[in-house]
Chain A
Amino acid sequence: MSHGDVEVAALTPPIVARSSATSALGAAALALERDLLLAFRHPSQLVQPLAFFAMVTLLFPLALSPEPARLREVAPGVLWTAALLASLLALEFLFRDDAHDGTLEQYALSGQSLTTLLFAKIAAHWVLTGVPLTLMAPLAALSLGASPSALPGIFAAVLIGSVTLSLIGSIGAALTLGIKRSGALLSLLTLPLALPVLIFGARATQLAMSGGPVVAPLELLGALAVLGTTLAPLAAAAAVRISLE
């Protein structure tokens, strides 16, 4: 074979040296930045789950009874059920577009840790869906009859709980990647795993509203978040690899 007549253009870089390779942290930061940028180009996807959350928590007082005592009784359950379902709505967007346009494939073949890259994606997803939900939850609690003194506890519970919801949801979203119209299956897979968050979150909210000590359920929520942080990205990465086969 002769390539003597081929002139190598100066623009073509030489084969890359290991020293210029992107670090795992750098790659994760880029993945995070990219997802945030994409979300700001397409904000409509983010509004939908939030609107759902706002509607449910605002419609309940109208439908049930405007009586504060009665509302306060159901408030924790309503708040957390709405938060759980809203986070489920947001999950569909987590990996779908990236699977469709080959981004996940390139991530899997990048030589970087897929777990780390997916963790960055989940973090971006939480910033875009969990954080707005956390900011909205105290307002929703007010409309359900919570006193202002209960709001810090509720805020903390939703803040920690939404982290776990994003993490757990990522496993379900990754497992259902190859399936068309995966919404129902996604809920079926994710909801049972999310039950502890629902239970402890509602408990923390209930205690906060009755003026009791919220530390214990918050600690349990924190433990769940730590468990999710360590395990969920690994499981999601394994599921993504299978979906690429």
Chain B
Amino acid sequence: MPEGPLEVEDLSVWRGERHVLRGIGFSVAGGQGLKLTGPNGAGKTTLLRSIAGLTYAEQGQVRWRGVDVRRDLRAFHASSAYLGHEPPLKPDLTARENLRYWVGNRRRVASRELGAALQRVGVETCAEQPVRTLSAGQRRRVALAGLTLLALPLWLLDEPTTHLDMDGQQLVGQLIAEQLARGGIALAALHHPLPGTLSAVPTLELAA
């Protein structure tokens, strides 16, 4: 069943005197993705954060399933996952524990599922190590495992391929393709073109 749609209308964000986003508007239906590109400072992160409801947009509207998300932010959050620059992981907990608490906060998750997800992203060998001992790329993979486990209709991804090797970037492409194939929506801020099947995903280019 297709999810959404997510509609953004005339979104404007100021940072002090600076007009970071100016009248951004687009619409993404279930099963569709959107790549956000643009030079550093173009406002990709700000756009994702204001859609997620973390940054206040002075003007404009974000609608989820036709309803302004500000009317019930918690209901919107219950169906969206935001993954920022840094994987939201505790250095002192193991990869498995991190996922248990992060995903468990939103939905009941079985230990077997955790193991399967960690295996899927290729970090099963270090699942029981404290995250602080993992490399940046491995941490990113753990975060991707969490993202898939959350199993939410809307993904807001800020530079999901950071620190990942070629194989890891392929994985991101594959995960996004799966998200779209099951009717979900994915918005991703990207510097590099996504490999493989996602070349058909439309691009929103933000100007500096």
Contacts and interface: CB of A to CB of B under 8 A. Distances in A.
Interface of A: 1-3, 5-6, 8-9, 11-16, 20-22, 26-27, 30-31, 33-34, 37-38, 41-42, 97, 101-103, 105-113, 117, 244-245
Nearest to B116: A11
B101 A30 contact: yes
Contact of A109 (B31, B80, B116, B178): B80
Nearest to B82: A109
A26 B105 CA distance: 8
Given A12-B148, A37-B93, A41-B92, A5 B54 contact: no
A103 B52 CA distance: 15
Contacts of B106: 16, 21-22, 27, 110-112
A245 B93 contact: no
Interface residues of B, number: 57
A8 B101 CA distance: 26
A244 B174 CA distance: 31
Contacts of A8: 178, 181-182
Which of A27, A101, A112, A117 has its CB near the most chain B CB atoms (within 10 A)? A101
Contact of B101 (A11, A14, A34): A34
A1 B74 contact: no
Interface SS, A side: loop
A2 B105 contact: no
Contact of A14 (B90, B150, B182, B200): B182
Contact of A5 (B55, B197, B201): B197
A6 B88 contact: no
Q: Which 6 pairs across A and B sit closest by C-beta, in order of nearness?
A: A111-B78, A102-B88, A111-B77, A16-B151, A13-B151, A6-B177
B58 interface: no
Contact of A111 (B75, B84, B89, B201): B75
26 contacts: A1-B31, A3-B181, A6-B181, A8-B178, A8-B182, A11-B119, A12-B151, A14-B151, A15-B151, A15-B184, A22-B104, A22-B106, A26-B108, A34-B101, A37-B97, A38-B90, A38-B92, A101-B91, A106-B82, A106-B88, A109-B53, A110-B105, A111-B75, A111-B78, A111-B106, A112-B74
A69 to B, nearest CB: 49
Interface of B: 3, 31-32, 52-56, 74-82, 84, 86-93, 97, 101-102, 104-108, 113, 116-117, 119-120, 148-153, 174-175, 177-178, 180-184, 197, 200-201
Given A16-B150, A16-B151, A31 B105 contact: yes
A244 B84 CA distance: 12
